[in-house]
Amino acid sequence: MGTIGLKIKLMPTSPDVDLEKIKTDAVVVIENMNGKNPTFEEEPIAFGLKAVIATFALDENSGDVDGIEKNLGEMENVNSSQIIDMRRVFG
């Protein structure tokens, strides 16, 4: 039994979207699907648009990686979600 470290990029629908609301909604989705310790960064893309990068841990036996990515991408004001890093973590 191990733990997976995941980074998922969330692209908002426009530069005017409240990124704090996306982060709050993402915490709910991640924790409801057994993710732990979510943290967030903002990555500038272009013309004022910023992506939200969600980083969190997931137990590899009880987690549904594809399901989390899909549910995050279906949140309000999120245009797309993409796994940008996934690796087994120790500790």
What pLDDT was estimated at residue 38?
97
pTM across the whole model:
0.92
Q: Report the pLDDT averaged over residues 51-77.
A: 92
* 90 part of a folded domain: no
* 89 part of a folded domain: no
* 30 part of a folded domain: yes
* 77 part of a folded domain: yes
What pLDDT was estimated at residue 11?
98
What pLDDT was estimated at residue 60?
83
What pLDDT was estimated at residue 90?
73
CATH number, domain containing residue 16: 3.30.70.60
What is the domain count for the chain? 1
pLDDT in tens, 2-12: 899 999 999 99
Per-residue DSSP letters for the chain? --EEEEEEEEEESSTTS-HHHHHHHHHHHHHHTTEEEEEEEEEEEETTEEEEEEEEEEETTT--HHHHHHHHHTSTTEEEEEEEEEEEE--
Whether 85 shows a pLDDT value over 70: the answer reads: yes
* 91 part of a folded domain: no
Range of the domain at 11: 3-84
